[in-house]
């Protein structure tokens, strides 16, 4: 049974989280949730994780926090807002510009969130010296979204991302597992209702059912996790998206309550990533890529995958000015880029007038 001291500690913990820049903070019990485990099994069984083999490899540890760390008794679920000031769809028809997902236009969220989690963990240890704990942000078998729902900070929407009544779909999530017995919050109710805006907006029909995502069809997966050539059936639908896709998030009606001023300043878009020219990105060598994307989550996919995505965007652009930078990549040593360049040139040839 949680005592009054633990309740007061939880209240003060949430206040400290807010002071550190977290927009939401809630607490869930660390035990197993059978429904959470069943949904994970179904998702993996359908093969919806694609080539993300790590999802299946440590599935047992994803089922419950105690499966990863048996000493865990409570989960502190946290989120930082990255609500954009501008319309994420604004560049949809600007073919010569590349679209980068809102979350990747600023500083690397891994670094920012982890700093905040560690600061909060230090505060908690100072308040409760015997409090064993572990911090996680997107790098361990932790199911942040269903845990966030259990902790009351939002609900897992039909697009499978967490939705907050206050911050919409724009939250970076992190978690602290602790051996402390803290009072759990009430799980958040589902507020999606009959809305299916996210499903209707998906350019590749990546949602086989509400609350279920087939990553193999998702543009975020294709541009970030997928290696090798982009499957031809998805190339036109990619448009000018070169890293991630915001469409299902951007159309969520709950975003009308999100305030961009609540976002951490570290997530503000860098000028060179807000609306980069495809021609400039296509011309980057390895050194140039590392320079442009230093401190960005985009850096982890490497120059070849990013240029592959840009070639698909160039093919979709209808911009004859991109023919020259695309042609230059026909000599690239990477066969995936050569194939993508040939495809892009074929697409651009269709819109060029005959002599």
CA atoms of 278 and 244, how far apart (whole Å): 16
Q: Which of 53, 60, 87, 138 is catalytic?
A: 138
Contact 148, 26 (CB under 8 A): yes
Give the count of beta carbons closer than 10 Å to the beta carbon of residue 197: 15
CA atoms of 82 and 268, how far apart (whole Å): 8
Helices (H), 90-228: 109-127, 144-150, 197-201, 219-220
CA atoms within 13 A on the CB side of 348: 23
Q: Which residues pair with 152 in a beta bridge?
A: none
CA atoms of 66 and 270, how far apart (whole Å): 39
Sign of the Cα torsion 290, 294, 300, 304 reads negative
Give the count of beta carbons closer than 10 Å to the beta carbon of residue 268: 16
CA atoms of 283 and 275, how far apart (whole Å): 16
Give the count of beta carbons closer than 10 Å to the beta carbon of residue 204: 20
CA atoms of 165 and 256, how far apart (whole Å): 9
CA atoms of 316 and 301, how far apart (whole Å): 22
What element of type H or E holds 40? Answer: helix 34-45
Distances (CA, A) of 136 to 31, 141, 155: 17, 9, 20
138 is catalytic: yes
Contact 33, 129 (CB under 8 A): no
Beta strand residue intervals within 67-188, DSSP E: 74-81, 99-100, 133-136, 155-156, 162-163, 171-178
CA atoms of 103 and 297, how far apart (whole Å): 9
Residues recognised as catalytic? 138
């Amino acid at each position: 049974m949680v005592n009054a001291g633990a309740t007061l500690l939880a209240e003060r913990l949430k206040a400290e989280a807010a002071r550190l820049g977290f927009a939401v903070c809630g607490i869930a019990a660390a035990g197993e949730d059978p429904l959470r485990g069943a949904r994970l099994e179904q998702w993996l069984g359908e093969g919806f994780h694609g080539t993300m083999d790590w999802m299946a490899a440590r599935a047992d540890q994803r089922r419950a926090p105690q499966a990863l760390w048996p000493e865990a008794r409570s989960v502190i679920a946290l989120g930082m807002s990255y609500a954009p000031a501008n319309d994420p769809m604004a560049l949809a028809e600007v073919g010569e510009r590349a679209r980068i997902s809102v979350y990747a236009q600023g500083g690397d969220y891994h670094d920012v969130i982890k700093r905040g989690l560690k600061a909060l963990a230090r505060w908690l240890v100072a308040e409760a010296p015997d409090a064993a704990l572990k911090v996680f942000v997107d790098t361990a078998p932790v199911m942040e979204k269903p845990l966030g729902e259990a902790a009351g900070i939002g609900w897992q929407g039909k697009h499978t991302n967490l939705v907050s009544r206050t911050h919409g779909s724009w939250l970076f999530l992190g978690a602290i597992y602790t051996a402390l017995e803290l009072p759990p919050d009430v799980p958040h109710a589902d507020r999606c209702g009959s809305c299916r805006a996210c499903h209707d907006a998906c350019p590749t029909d990546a949602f086989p059912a509400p609350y279920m995502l087939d990553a193999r069809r998702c543009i975020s997966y294709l541009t970030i996790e997928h290696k090798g050539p982009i499957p031809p059936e998805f190339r036109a639908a990619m448009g000018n998206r070169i890293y991630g896709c915001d469409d299902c998030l951007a159309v969520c009606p709950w975003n009308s309550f999100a305030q961009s001023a609540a976002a951490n300043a570290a997530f503000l878009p860098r000028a060179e990533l807000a609306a980069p020219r495809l021609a400039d990105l296509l011309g980057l060598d390895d050194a140039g890529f590392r320079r442009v994307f230093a401190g960005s989550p985009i850096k982890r996919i490497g120059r070849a995958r990013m240029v592959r995505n840009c070639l698909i965007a160039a093919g979709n652009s209808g911009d004859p000015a991109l023919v020259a930078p695309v042609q230059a990549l026909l000599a690239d040593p990477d066969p995936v880029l050569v194939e993508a360049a040939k495809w892009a040139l074929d697409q651009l040839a269709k819109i060029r007038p005959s002599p």
